[in-house]
Amino acid sequence: MEPQLSWYLALSAILFTIGVTGVIIKRNVIAMFMCIELMLNAVNLTFVAFASFFQDVTGQLFVFIVMTVAAAEAAVGLGIIIAIFRNRESLDVDEASILKL
Amino acid sequence: MLALLFILFAGLAIGCALAVVAQRNPLYSAISLIGVFISLACLYIMLAAPFIAAVQVIVYAGAIMVLVVFVIMLLNVEQQERGRTRLKFLVPTAVVLAAVLIAEVAFILVTVQEFRVNPTASPSDIGITNSIGSGLFTRYLLPFEITSILLLMAIVGAMTLARRGGLLSPDARLIPGAQTLPLHLVDPSAAPDDLRPVEMESSEEAARLLGVDPRLTRKE
Amino acid sequence: MDTAIDVVLKLVAITVAFVVVLLVVAYTVLAERRILGFIQGRLGPNRVGYGGMLQPFADLLKFILKEDIVPDKSTRFIYFLAPVIATMAALMTMIVYPFGPRTGIPFTSITIPLVIAHFDVGLLYVLGITSVGVYGIALAGWSSNNKYSLMGGLRSSAQMISYELALGLSLIGVIMLAGTLDLAQIVELQSNWRGFHWFIFLQPLGFLIYLIAAIAETNRVPFDLPEAETELVAGFHTEYSAMKFALFFLAEYINMFTVSMLATTLFLGGWNVPFAESIFGRGTFLFGLVSAIGFLLKVIFFLFIYIWLRGTLPRFRFDQLMSFGWKFLLPLALLNIFITATLVYFSYNF
């Protein structure tokens, strides 16, 4: 039996949900960032699965662009994380969310 | 055969994703995330997207995660401590809501059976570099160019954020070359909190203004 | 039945390639010690076996029997994982290189392509696996809980990711000339003009940039500051002993071998020996044999250049190394792409 489209979509949904759970649960800002990357990858999987099953290359092109955006976001986001760490000496999101030094 | 491979890589991806969320040490989370990326790359190869699979390994596993691992090592991030005044019901709520989301998606996937175009996964040529290249440079040229400007913005942003501003402490060693000092040190009549940057001509002058021993600026 | 024969042939091919790689790497270590000795005016190891030929096996025995010391405060899982990542990444690139043309096995009618896996994105696969190899070093430096290891690991991985860019960009010239990312195709395209269509003649600047970036990628002299003995003790592998150190050592030499094979495939025409086709005829066993031996000789030539450089050049300081990679080599690689693109465009249209 060949893998169906719904299998790939189900896998993507599960990965996305795990990512969302991670963003809610985690206190460390770098771990939250990694769960965001997990969500982006789940979406990439959906795009590639549709591109393959409907024989259209547009999905893969969009994945290319999503990857580029994720790389840019990683660079700037980690720069911000380092700046936060320099000011607060801790990477706890709950403490940083009250926006008080 | 393909179904077995799918189950293998999907199981690996889900296992590593659960490890990302469940691990308390962020370095272990990062390594599990690399595992997720590589198993997704294998799934992309199964979906006739070899170029995207290779780019996924190069960009995500080979560049973005290296950056994350460097930052973790640089900031010396330790294990996450137990929260003190946390809303304690958050974790079970998150798990329950996640289960609800998965149940909804499963319901949709099982009940919706009609597609306008019949989806088939026949081996095809859509994922080879040639077709991606021709699509990227003809029909999708505008997103491509905008993405390159986005990357330029990211480079400038990262460099700006990572630059250390501020004054040097009196026992710092100065590197030979010109220094940039805030205006209130150079011009005594400026306000004491005037931080506009002024480039000095030489390190000795900068050292004198800072009150640091000018002999420290000599090349060794 | 066909798939069973395919699987068996692939397993045989993988085993043969693995054994050949390990033997070549083991004798490269010996050759390096002896050639360095001759450059420095002394003999290398020549006691074990005739002229030292059994030295690698003596070394292997020593590594296996040595006491394995694990530092107390290290992160154990990552400490054990790091040499595994380094070696795996080094070995995994082996499968895409074409060792020879399609040859027929004598006395049977089977023709086998002398390449283990035929991807159409072979070159990108190699670049991807090289990027993953950085983790072995960074994690080794971190998990040893030793400040020399950490500094060595961070410096080494920073160097590797910086020179990866120049490496990738220098290969774009070759990709433009060949029009494909498939390594077997690239080798086929270099078989005209009696050896003068090798890409080293069409892309001399690209070849030089690739060679320099490859030496920096594999942490060899003159770019070996992170693991030089006079610098940070032993860099990222300070705290590793016995078999885990042997794995790092092996990973470095397999990386050297891999990078030499990539240079041979892309720039020196792979398995193309200039007059072999007219003498032997395509598809015969002798042609395949001569081509494979030619490939091996070209790779050994590159390994000799690595060893020669080690005996001759002093090493860069780390800030000189980084500024050389970013401020000189990267713009030069971009210039190479620009010039190649212009010439390819004009040669197609006029």
Per-residue pLDDT at B167: 46
Higher-confidence position of B91 and C16: C16
Residue B155 has pLDDT above 60, yes or no: yes
pLDDT grade, residue B166 (50/70/90)?
A: very low
Minimum distance, in Å, between the CA of residue B193 and any CA atom of chain A: 19
Most confident range (mean pLDDT) of B159-173, B174-188, C274-288 is C274-288
- % of chain B residues with pLDDT over 90: 30
- Classify residue B35: in a domain, yes or no: no
Residues of B engaging C, defined by a Cβ cutoff of 8 Å: 27-28, 31, 34, 38, 50-51, 53-55, 57-58, 61-63, 66, 69-70, 73, 128-129
Higher-confidence position of A81 and C192: A81
- Classify residue B192: in a domain, yes or no: yes
Residue B186 has pLDDT above 80, yes or no: no
Please, what are the averages of pLDDT over each run of 10 residues along chain C (350 residues)? 80 88 90 91 85 86 86 82 92 88 72 78 92 90 83 87 92 90 87 80 92 91 75 72 86 92 91 78 78 91 93 87 92 94 87
Residue B220 has pLDDT above 50, yes or no: no
Looking at the structure of chain B, the number of domains it has is 1
- Classify residue B20: in a domain, yes or no: no
Residue B76, number of CB atoms within 10 A of its CB: 9
pLDDT grade, residue B20 (50/70/90)?
A: very high
Fold for A5-90, please state it. Helix Hairpins (1.10.287)
> Which of B39, B44, B116, B163 is the best substitution to test chain A (most A C-beta atoms within 10 A)?
B44
CB C125 to CB B69 under 8 A? no
CB B54 to CB C78 under 8 A? no
pLDDT grade, residue B214 (50/70/90)?
A: low
- Classify residue B193: in a domain, yes or no: yes
Instruction: For residues A45-50, give the mean pLDDT.
Output: 93
CB C146 within 8 A of CB C238: yes
Q: pLDDT per residue over B59-89, tens digit each?
A: 999 999 999 999 998 887 776 665 555 667 7
Give the pairing type, strands C100-104 and B197-199: unpaired
Considering only CB atoms, B119 lies closest to which of A5, A18, A20, namely A5
- Classify residue B96: in a domain, yes or no: no
Q: What is the 3-state secondary structure (H, E, C) of chain C?
A: CHHHHHHHHHHHHHHHHHHHHHHHHHHHHHHHHHHHHHHCCCCCCCCCCHHHCCHHHHHHHHHHHCCCCCCCCCCHHHHHHHHHHHHHHHHHHHHHCCCEEEEECCCCCCEEEECCCCCCCHHHHHHHHHHHCHHHHHHHHHHCCCHHHHHHHHHHHHHHHHHHHHHHHHHHHHHHHHCCCCHHHHHHCCCCHHHCCCHHHHCHHHHHHHHHHHHHHCCCCCCCHHHCCCCCCCHHHCCCCHHHHHHHHHHHHHHHHHHHHHHHHHHCCCCCCCCHHHHHCCCCHHHHHHHHHHHHHHHHHHHHHHHHHHHHCCCCCHHHHHHHHHHHHHHHHHHHHHHHHHHHHHHHHC
Minimum distance, in Å, between the CA of residue B14 and any CA atom of chain A: 7
Closest-CA residue of chain C to B50 = C121
Instruction: For residues B102-123, give the mean pLDDT.
Output: 69
**Domain range holding B202?**
179-216
Per-residue pLDDT at C49: 81
CB B60 to CB A37 under 8 A? yes
Phi, psi of C93 (to 5 degrees): -75, -10
B1 CB neighbours in chain C (<8 A) are none
Minimum distance, in Å, between the CA of residue B50 and any CA atom of chain A: 10
**Positive or negative torsion for Cα A96, A99, A100, A101:** positive
Per-residue pLDDT at C150: 84
Per-residue pLDDT at C167: 93
Considering only CB atoms, B61 lies closest to which of C77, C78, C132, namely C132
- Classify residue B196: in a domain, yes or no: yes
Residue B41 has pLDDT above 60, yes or no: yes
- Classify residue B154: in a domain, yes or no: no
Can you read off the two tokens belonging to residue A87?
């000011």
CB C131 to CB B61 under 8 A? yes
Per-residue pLDDT at B178: 55
